Amino acid sequence: MDIIELKSLDAYYGNKKILNNINMKIKKNKITAIIGPSGCGKSTLLAALNRMLEENGGSTQGEIKFDGKNILSYSKDDMRKRIGIVFQKPAPFPMSIYKNLTYAPMYYGIQNRKKLDEIVENKLKVSGLFEEVKKDLNMSALRLSGGQQQRLCIARALTVEPEVLMLDEPCSALDVKNTANIEEMLLKLSENYTIIIVTHNLQQAKRISDYTAFILDGELVEYDETETIFNAPRDKKTREYIEGIYG
Ligand SMILES: Nc1ncnc2c1ncn2[C@@H]1O[C@H](COP(=O)(O)OP(=O)(O)OP(=O)(O)O)[C@@H](O)[C@H]1O
Ligand SMILES: [Mg+2]
C-alpha cells in the first residue's frame, strides 16, 4: 500500500526550481532510501513532504498526497506529527533525557505522569537506549555521546507516534558501531513505521532499504526496488552514480 504519492511535484526556493516533475509513490511500512549528489534536492524533498518547505521560504507545485489526501488539507501541526524528521546532526533539547521525550507528548496534551513514564520507557527501549540510560533519566541529554544523542533524537521523534519517520543523513557523524545500531533499529522500526532515509552512504542504502530513489539535479532519474537500482539499474546515470562517478 502507498502512504505518500507525489504527482508532478516541483519545488522552488524563491524562483529557483529545485525539484522538477517528481512522480513517486512511497510504500507503507517499507524503508525508502533517497540518494544523489550534494545539492540535488534530497533535503528539499523531505522538507516538502511534511510542509516544512513553506516555513523555510520554499514553495511547491503539483501534488503530494498522504493517506490519499492532499497534504494541504492537513494542518501543518498535523503533518509534522504524522511525518517526523531526524537530522544529520543530533540536536537533543538542552534538557534532561526524560524531558526530551515528554516534551512533544505534553505539547499534544498528555499530562498523566504514568502515561508519560510509559512513553519514555517504551521509546528508549525501541531505540535501544533504555539499558544505557535508565538510571540517568534526569541527566542532561547533552551529556550523551553523539551516537546516543542520535538514538535519543529518533526516540524523541517517535514519541508522537508518527506514521512516517524521515531521516536526513542520520549516520554521517557516527562511527561504524553507532551506525550499525541505528540501521538495526530502523529495520525493526520498519515493521510499524514507514521510513524514508536520505543517505550518502550507498552501502547503507543497499543494506537497509527496500526501495531506492536516485535524484540528480532535481530530477528523479530512477526509482525502483533497491536490488534493481544497485544490480540492474535501467538508467546510465544511475549506474554511473552507483559506480562512484559523481558525488
Ligand atoms: N533555504 C534555502 N534557500 C534557498 N536555496 C536553498 C535553501 N535550501 C537549499 N537550497 C538550495 O536548494 C538546492 C538543493 O538543496 P538540498 O539541501 O535539497 O540538497 P541535498 O541534496 O540535500 O544536498 P546535501 O547532500 O548536500 O545535503 C541547492 O541548490 C541549495 O542551494
Ligand atoms: Mg541535504
Q: What is the pLDDT of residues 2-57, one digit of tens each?
A: 999 999 999 999 999 999 999 999 999 999 999 999 999 999 999 999 999 999 99
Structural domain tally of the chain? Answer: 1
Residue located nearest, by CA, to atom 1 of ligand 1: 56
Q: What's residue 227's pLDDT?
A: 98
Q: Which domain holds residue 117?
A: 2-242
What CATH number is associated with residue 235? Answer: 3.40.50.300
Report yes or no on 201 lying in a domain.
yes
Distances, alpha carbon 138 to alpha carbons 99, 105, 174, in Å: 8, 17, 24
Measured in angstroms, how far is the CA atom of residue 130 from the centroid of ligand 2?
Answer: 30
Measured in angstroms, how far is the CA atom of residue 42 from the centroid of ligand 1?
Answer: 8
How much is the mean pLDDT over the chain? 96
| Structural contact between residues 213 and 220, judged by C-beta atoms closer than 8 angstroms | yes
pTM of the model: 0.96
Measured in angstroms, how far is the CA atom of residue 234 from the centroid of ligand 2?
Answer: 25
Q: What's residue 244's pLDDT?
A: 85
Report yes or no on 42 lying in a domain.
yes
Which ligand is the nearest neighbour of the Cα of 40?
1
Which ligand is the nearest neighbour of the Cα of 17?
1
Q: CA-CA distance, 125 to 4, in Å (whole number)?
A: 28
Q: What is the pLDDT of residues 206-234, one digit of tens each?
A: 999 999 999 999 999 999 999 999 999 99
Report yes or no on 183 lying in a domain.
yes
Task: Please determine, for residue 128, whether its predicted confidence score (pLDDT) is greater than 60.
Answer: yes
Report yes or no on 238 lying in a domain.
yes
| Beta-carbon count within 10 A of 113 CB | 9
- Of all residues in the chain, the percent with pLDDT exceeding 70 is 99
